Amino acid sequence: MKKLIIILSACITLFAGCSASINDIAVTNFNIISVTPRGTNELYATIELGIRNPVIAFTLQDMEGTLKVDGQPCIRITADQLMVDGQSDRVYVIPVKGKLIDGFNPWQLLSVLKDNDFSKFTVDVSARVSLKSGIGKDIAIKDVSLEKLLKKE
């Protein structure tokens, strides 16, 4: 009887550590590595995105975002798909492409950037998260402060 209790206790302890869910997926790092202007209304950038994924692998597709200054959309951002490894804590390097939104004054963007004050910037992001089986869900996150994303803790 004593052996049964010890075995049951060991099994409960073992399985309690394996109870990760999709709610445990977290962004651990966000960095802008480089920004390269292309002409007067396009740019290419490279970002680092750290993701802690304690569950199975998934793919981020149709990634789009909008960078806003004082609530006014200024740059539309797109990225190719990203395959996130399962049971991993990894930093992914993602190339992104941006285009100035028609009617936005690029000089306004430069005047904000010269002060290195990112508090005026927010980001809207959308993507499709899908599993290898093809099952997926569209997600959208609105008005995330760029200053908080870039803050190192």
Residue-wise pLDDT tens digits, 53-90? 999 999 999 999 999 988 999 999 999 999 999 999 99
What pLDDT is stored for residue 153 in this prediction? 52
Exposed, middle or buried by CB within 10 Å (0-12, 13-18, 19+), for 112? middle
What pLDDT is stored for residue 18 in this prediction? 52
Residue reference for tokens 């798909």: 81
Structure tokens at 80: 């190719």
Alpha-carbon span 21 to 69, nearest angstrom: 35
Mean pLDDT of 10-35: 70
What pLDDT is stored for residue 96 in this prediction? 96
What pLDDT is stored for residue 9 in this prediction? 45
Helix, strand, coil percentages in the chain from 3-state DSSP, rounded to 5 = 20, 55, 25
Please report how many Cα atoms fall inside a 13 Å half-sphere around the Cα of residue 46, on the Cβ side. 6
Mean pLDDT of 23-52: 89
